[in-house]
Amino acid sequence: MIEYIATTIEDAILIEQSGADRIELVSALTEGGLTPSYALIEEAVNRVNIPVNIMVRPHSQSFDYSMEDILVMKRDIQMIKSIGANGVVLGALTEENEICRHTLEELLVECKGLDVTFHRAIDETANPSQSAHLLSEYKEVTSILTSGGHGDFSERLKVISEMKKMSGHIDILVGGGLNKGNILSIHSRVETGHYHFGTAVRKNNSSVAGIDLQAAKELSRMLKGNVY
């Protein structure tokens, strides 16, 4: 499963043309992705035939959300569902950077019928593998987006492999630093079969540029021809 990030309608259309399987739609990619506008979500969902998952993140200050933040996120999820998007991408932590069960459970109530990806907030937790095990208790969570925490690349790959063992029914969606030069090596080590790309398929590998269709097609062909 190949997922590319879109920030515009043009991105979404090119991603579909590239052969990718799913779109993650965000705004403010330079801030790690925030909730896009209602109109952008509606247009993207209506213009492409592949699944579109929507970032639900009201700000980039932290992943520890106030009651007011949670109300906004719940309204956003309701709106996303009404438009007909495939799923949502969300996450919530405590002040101590552990998964906030209370906030997560409040948000999941609104997610019935949607795919749910818990995003890279999990990489901020002390033990991403144990966090993945905790998330496996929630049948509503379908994917975890992770780069295996922080630090040495080889160690992060070990963490991802451990998360795969601990996540139960949840797919591990590997993202963060993936590109055509390293993806086949990464797949040979972690074999999650679910990969997420951002700047690797954008012009000049820039977070503020649009999708590079040729780069996106090349990566899709590489994965589908050599991995699957």
pLDDT higher than threshold 50 for residue 167: yes
SS3 71: helix
Residue ranges covered by each domain of the chain: 2-226
Q: Quote the CA–CA distance of 196 and 159 in Å, as a whole number.
A: 17
Q: Which residues of 173-209 are buried (b: 16+ CB within 10 A; e: fewer)?
A: bbbeebeeeebeebbeebebbbbbbbbbbbeeeeeee
Q: Per the structure block, which two tokens stand in for 120?
A: 């890279």
Give the mean pLDDT of 95-108: 98
Q: Quote the CA–CA distance of 49 and 26 in Å, as a whole number.
A: 18
Per-residue pLDDT band at 225 (split at 50, 70, 90): confident
> May I ask the CATH architecture of the domain 2-226?
Alpha-Beta Barrel (3.20)
The strand pair at 171-175 and 2-6 is best described as: unpaired
Q: Quote the CA–CA distance of 165 and 163 in Å, as a whole number.
A: 5
Neighbouring C-beta atoms of residue 140, cutoff 10 Å: 16
pTM score, two decimals?
0.96
**Residue 227: per-residue pLDDT:** 44
pLDDT digits (tens, 9 = 90+) for 78-88: 999 999 999 99
Q: Which residues contact 102 (CB under 8 A, 6 or more apart)?
A: none
Q: Quote the CA–CA distance of 202 and 154 in Å, as a whole number.
A: 25
pLDDT higher than threshold 60 for residue 228: no
Mean pLDDT value across the chain: 96
SS3 140: coil
Give the mean pLDDT of 13-33: 97
